Structures are given as C-alpha cells and as structure tokens.
Amino acid sequence: MKIKLISGVISAVLLSGCTSVMQKNDFKSFNSELSQGNYQEASKVALEHAGYDPEKGSVDDLLWTIQAGATLNYAGNYDLSVKLLDASEAMMKAEDTENIVSESSELIGSIVGNDAMLAYEQTQYDGVMANTIKAWSFLAENKYQDARVEFNRAEERQRRAAEYFAKQIKAREKELKEEGGDSSVSVNKTIESDAAKKVLEDAGMTANQWQPYDGYINPFTTYSYGLHLLLTGKSKSDFRKAADSFKRVYALTKSSAVNKDYKLARKLSKSGKKSTLNNRVWVIFENGLSVVREEKRLDLPVFILSSNVAYTGIALPWLKERGVTYKDISVNNKKTQMISDMDKIIGAEFDDDFPYILAREITRVTLKTIAQKQLKDSNAILGNVFGALQAVTTGADIRSFSALPSQYQVTRLYTKHKTVEIKAGTFTIPVKLDTSAKKHIIYVKAVSPMIQPTIRVINI
C-alpha cells in the first residue's frame, strides 16, 4: 500500500517536473518568433500547442488558442483569428462555470506537483483582449456590425472585471486568514515570518508594484470602442457613447489626442454631421512586447511542525519586462501618445494574484518537506529519493498571454493628401490611403527596432 502511494506520488512528481520544463520551451520558441516579427511562424507554434485540428477546426488548449488568435490577427489572417478567439471564448466560459469538484481535484493534484499542472485559467485581461482583438479583425475587414458586437462584449467583460476584483479582494483576504488543514499553522507562520519576508524583499518580490487603472479598465479597449462608434456610428446616441468613452480614457491618461477626440465626438453628438469626420486619420501604435512571467527560484525558510525551520527551494513566477520598441513614432510629424500601459494592466492583476500563488507554493513545500522528513525517519534511502524528486518538481507557472504589446499609443491628424509619412526609429515609411475613402485608421505594430514595423490601413 505504502509503495503504491509512493509510486503515485513519484509519477505525479515526475509529470509536474516535465510539465514545467516543457512549458518553458513552448514559450521560448513562441516568444522568439514573436520578438522577430515573424507573426505567421509564431502563430504556427501557437496553433501546434493549441492542439489545432484544421479538419475538425477544434482546439484543446485555452491559452495557446488565444495566443494563436492574437498572432494570426497580427499576420493579417483575420478569419482564422476570429474562429480561434471564438473557440477561446467557449473555453473561457467552460472554465468560468467549471464545477467545484473538478476544480478542487485539480488543486489537490497541483499541491503534489506544481501550479503549472493546473488547467490554465484565463485572466480578466485575456478575455477583454480576446474580444478587442476580434473587434479589430472585423474592423479591418470593414464588418462594422460584427465589430460592434465584439466591442460590446469587451466592455461587458470590463464591467464584470471591475466587479470581480472588488469581490476578489474581499474574498481572498478572508480565505488567506482562514485557510484550513494541519499545515496551515506552519504555512501562516512562514508567510508572516520576517525571515521569509526578507528573502522575498531581497529578491525584489514585493507586493503592490503595479497599480491598476481606475475601475480596472483597459483604456485601449474603451478608446477602440469609442473610435469605432465615432467612425461608424449612425445616430447622435452613438456619438454620445463615443464621447463618453473618450472622456473616460482622457480622465485616465490625460492624452491631448484623446481630448480632441472627445471634443469631436461631442460636436457630432449635437450636430450629427458626419462630414466633420472627413479627411481625418487616426493612428494606433502597438509598441513593444508585454511583461511575461519568468521563474524565480529562492531558498525560503519554511516552518515545519511549528518550530523547526528548514531552508527549502521554492519556485515562483515573477514578471519580466520586455519593454517598448520606441518611445513614440510620428505620423506627418505628429507624435503618438501612450493611452494604455498593458504592462501595468498585467502587473496589477498579477499583483492581485501573487499572495495566493505564494501561499500555495509554501503550502506545497511545507507538505512535501514534512513528508520527506517522515519518510526519512522510517527509511533513509526513500527519504533522500523523495528529497531529490522534490527538487525536480519545483517549478513555477509561467504561462501568460505573451503575444500582447507593452503599450498602446495613438495620435490623430487632418490631411487632404492621401499619402502620409510614418517615422519609427530609423525607418521612414510612406503610407498610401485609399482615395475613395474619407476616414482612415493606420494600425502600426513594432516589436523590435531592428525590424520595419508592420502597417495596415483601415479605410472607412
């Protein structure tokens, strides 16, 4: 019986060790293609990990499906991008409504192994961005009705996110205090000990490094919603909604470009004269690559059986910046302004999650250390084997939506010439606008100063 149990533990342990290493490799190859601007190649990597079956059109991994959806949008393959992001929404819904039994059995498994074994649970910004990207895909194909539905969904997800965070903060404070089980005394002792705090501080892992935008909103999503209504709106009420969105974004960013958009939308909400929009160009700039999770390994003083302390290796995820590509770019000498710091949005949500991740890792390591000690007392060899395995299984969950940019910037201009000039670092790129269209959005994406930015024009 004992042997069965041990072998069970050992196989879980080996599996979790593998999972964590494999995940790191997956992200390495994906992020490397992405950082070279090879969006098509990056999407292939993502599709493979998503378990994409082109014949059935099925996928089985949520995170990689979102990653594939995003990179396919960057590569201009809008149809497939939308299909995959639709599938990702269905998976997110399944994850949201997953019953407690399967959730807790997953959690028990992860206590033996590590967090990387758990099914990926989407962050709030994953969902918001999935709908935002879909909306932009529809806009690029001039499918305005479909874009509107996606923007409505994105805004609804933002509304839900604000409520989620308000509830979450209350619930987690309570939960961390009340966490049951025999080891909870030791776990709490470790978390609250000065020694442990110092180790974390020395590693630069202190809480609350990122502040969310007010109301946990992503100003880029709200801005996009407003811009879409401004450019494709039909009634004064549409323009009023656009003005409200720009007003919110201006309050958060103080961007003068957004302020001008707000004033323009207000004007239209009174006059309803759409010709006011003629000969105007908006520029959206996706700058750099977002923060990603990396693994940090630390030796933490862990309390076992209340008084004994053992320094034990733990692994935690922490955010690594990949940074912006340019401070800004200019279009006909007009500089872009930052309206959304994606790093800040990701960071704030991570900050919120971190105490939880830490508590889980310490619970795990405490349980394992206690088990190892008990095993060693009865059988020294087995104890050592278990100890070695413990080291192997230690691994952080580094999965995140890494296809996102670091920042979103915008600018706007009025021009009667149908060619504009974009300057990005050492690149000067002339961009032709459709002469038959009256309004235009230029969408620029730059991931590295070594590679010419990708540019697409939406003529409305």
- What does the binding site for another protein look like in residue numbers (CB under 8 A)? 89, 92-93, 96-97, 127, 145-146, 148-149, 152-153, 156-157, 159-160, 163, 234
Q: What gap in Å lies between CA 37 and CA 405, rounded to an integer? A: 12
Q: Please provide residue 314's backbone torsions phi and psi, each rounded to the nearest 5 degrees.
A: -125, 160
CB of 345 to another protein, least distance (A): 19
Give first-to-last CA distance, the chain, whole Å.
71
Q: Which is nearer to another protein, 113 or 127 (CB)?
A: 127
Task: Report the residue count for the chain.
Answer: 460
Q: Minimal CA–CA distance to 126: which of 154, 103, 152?
A: 154
Q: What gap in Å lies between CA 81 and CA 43, rounded to an integer? A: 10
CB of 258 to another protein, least distance (A): 23
Q: Which is nearer to another protein, 238 or 361 (CB)?
A: 238
Q: Which is nearer to another protein, 45 or 63 (CB)?
A: 63
CB of 172 to another protein, least distance (A): 16
Q: What gap in Å lies between CA 413 and CA 145, rounded to an integer? A: 26
Chain-centroid distance of CA 115 in Å reads 17
CB of 96 to another protein, least distance (A): 4
CB of 149 to another protein, least distance (A): 5
CB of 97 to another protein, least distance (A): 5
CB of 93 to another protein, least distance (A): 5
Q: Which is nearer to another protein, 120 or 386 (CB)?
A: 120
Q: Which is nearer to another protein, 163 or 173 (CB)?
A: 163
Chain-centroid distance of CA 32 in Å reads 17
Q: Which is nearer to another protein, 241 or 334 (CB)?
A: 241
CB of 156 to another protein, least distance (A): 6
Q: Which is nearer to another protein, 156 or 434 (CB)?
A: 156
Q: Which is nearer to another protein, 92 or 314 (CB)?
A: 92
